[in-house]
Amino acid sequence: MEVRKSKIAHLPSGTKPERLTKITASIASQRSNAKDNTKSPIRRFGENKGLDIEISLNNNMFHLTTIDSQDVTITVSSLTRIVYEKILSLCENSPRYLTAHPGKGNVRKSLRTKDMFDIASILRARTELQAQLTNADEIRFLNTLMEDIAVTKEDLAGFMNDVTMYEDQYQEEYETVNETLVPVKERIDFTDAKTMMLDLLTLILNEM
């Protein structure tokens, strides 16, 4: 595995990590026949097949898990971090937040309802995760993420209000996501996804 442009600090437990610029890991398989790879969508490194994983640009590297598989080590985010980052992404792209912070949010002006689906999907598959997401240690971690991107408790509360105030817009985008990106058997109704996410946010805000 080749790692390029890597800037990451050793992070003792309970400390705030340094910011990093970028990590790109190139993972190549054992040598293979280049002729077989001609039409492969997988990137090739010489005669090897492989892929690039871009881990982060400007986020803290917290709550990471190391997976060792066939002599390849990959560092991935925990489900806790994934859910928190999806909540913050939804908040940063909500109408109220964008009005208060011009220039932020994604360029496509999406409400990021795919993140709402992802949160609901994770909570449905891992019912025990909600208790972990609302315990004191995890809330402290969430506060660190929020400080890093200038999102406040009030912003999260405002996002919750936006989901109700602009429910038609959220539902329209969510249904498009459901119909175009999600297999039929894995779809979650908008009302169910919204309820799961708002219930979680209510518990989180009560612990802050």
User: DSSP letters along 143-154, please?
Assistant: HHHHHHHT--HH
- pTM of the complete model: 0.65
**How open is the CA angle 64-14-147, to the nearest 5 degrees?**
80
Q: Can you tell me which residue has the tokens 């060792």?
A: 68
pLDDT at 83 over 70: yes
Q: What confidence tens digit (pLDDT) does each residue in 154-181 have?
A: 999 999 999 999 999 999 999 999 899 8
Q: Can you tell me which residue has the tokens 């908008």?
A: 190
How far apart CA 102 and CA 193 sit, in angstroms, is: 28
